[in-house]
Amino acid sequence: MTVQGEKVQTWRRQLHGSLVILKKNARLYYLKPPVLIFGVLFPVFFFLAYKMGRPIAAENLVPGMVAMALWFTASAVGPLVTPWERSAKTYERLISTPVSLHAILAGDVISGFVFGTFLSTVPVLLGLVLTDAYIGNVPLLIAGIVMGALSFASLGVLLAAPPANGPANIMLLSNLVRLPLLFVSGIFVPIGQMPVWAQWIAPLSPLSYASALIHSAFGHSAFFPVWLSLLMLVLFTLAFFMTSCKFHNMWRAMGL
């Protein structure tokens, strides 16, 4: 077989490995209480806390609700998987298989991506059915959800990289990162109307860019242009993923 052919076969095997990891994660972790609480209940309660008693038209809240649901769901799976597997000692079994660490972590990212993408369609559908919201640009909405889910899922995997003995500490860490970013990403208040310090922080959050794309898709004005949002989400995804691979390799070198 040629060198090129061998490379293609290796990639194919590793992709297959990632999909096997996805199947395992879906079976084991999608219905775990921490995922359901932090991934599904959190956005619902945040929405209710913001909406109740305020004279805001429901259709204006739909893009923010979609972005928030995507943020919580896509980033909920990653922080659970690795710590859970480390404490159950199944992580060692995975890394002694012929599936590379990159492929295992890619499988974890895909797990968060699928979970987030699937569940974020619920607020989209509810918004369309129950409010006057409409989608002005379907491809942009799909791009926003897909790219947002990928970067948020990668963030989730990065947050799970520290070698903790149990999932509780990592879930705590993940909420320490996710919750503050929620308030500076233009979900509840448009970035242009936020205090100056928050406007400085907003570009550091991937949620700001996904939110901008989703708002644009629903015909609302967005703080960032579409091209910048797409580019930043790609860069965030790559940076989060490569950093998590680096951390995992570093812990492995240290024997942790």
Partner 1 sequence: MQMKAVIEAKKLTRKFGNLVAVDQVAFGVYQGEIFGFLGPNGAGKTTTVRMLTGVIDPTEGTATIQGHDILKEPLLSRAHIAVVPEEANVYLELSVWQNLILMAELHGVARHRYLQEAELLLDALGLSERKKQKARALSKGLRQRLMLCAALVTGPEVLFLDEPTSGLDVQSARLIRQTVSDLNRSGLTVFLTTHNMSEASEMCSRVAIIDKGCIVAIDPPEKLRSTISSRQYVEVRFAGAAPEHNELESLPGVSHIDVDNRTFRLYTKLPGQVVTEVVRLVDRKGLEITDLSNRKPSLEDVFLHFTSG
Q: Which is nearer to partner 1, 17 or 34 (CB)?
A: 17
Q: Which residue has the tokens 């903790």?
A: 164
Q: Which is nearer to partner 1, 88 or 238 (CB)?
A: 88
Site string for partner 1, 142-181 (x = CB under 8 A): ----------------------------------------
Q: Residue 26 interacts with partner 1 (CB under 8 A)?
A: no
Contact pick of 7, 8, 10, 134 for partner 1 (by CB under 8 A): 10
Q: What are the residues whose beta carbons fall under 8 Å from the beta carbon of 55, sequence distance 6 or more? A: none
Site string for partner 1, 58-97 (x = CB under 8 A): ------------------------------xxx-xxxxxx
Output the six-digit token pair for 52. Answer: 């109740």
Q: Judged by CB under 8 A, which stretch of 57-65, 72-80, 213-221, 248-256 contacts partner 1?
A: 248-256
How many residues make contact with partner 1 (CB under 8 A)? 25
Q: How far is the CB of 202 from partner 1 (least distance, A)?
A: 40
Q: Which is nearer to partner 1, 16 or 246 (CB)?
A: 16
Contact pick of 48, 129, 196, 253 for partner 1 (by CB under 8 A): 253
Burial class of 176 by CB neighbour count within 10 A (0 to 12, 13 to 18, 19+): exposed
Contact pick of 61, 76, 77, 99 for partner 1 (by CB under 8 A): 99
Integer distance in angstroms from the first to the last C-alpha of the chain? 38
- At position 26, the amino acid (one-letter code) is A
Q: Residue 246 interacts with partner 1 (CB under 8 A)?
A: no
Q: Residue 100 interacts with partner 1 (CB under 8 A)?
A: yes
Query: Distance between CA atoms of 202 and 127, rounded to whole angstroms?
Result: 26
DSSP code of residue 89: T
Tally the C-alpha atoms within 13 A of residue 29's C-alpha that lie toward its C-beta. 29
Among 150, 172, 179, 165, which Cα is nearest to 79's?
172
Q: Residue 102 interacts with partner 1 (CB under 8 A)?
A: no
- At position 117, the amino acid (one-letter code) is T
Buried b (16+ CB within 10 A) or exposed e, 32-67: bebbeebbbebbeebbeebeeeeeeeebebbbbbbb
**Relative orientation angle of helices 167-183 and 78-88, to the nearest 10 degrees:** 170
Q: Which is nearer to partner 1, 246 or 252 (CB)?
A: 252
Q: Residue 17 interacts with partner 1 (CB under 8 A)?
A: yes
Binding site residues, partner 1, CB under 8 A:
10, 13, 16-17, 20-21, 23-24, 27-28, 88-90, 92-100, 252-253, 255
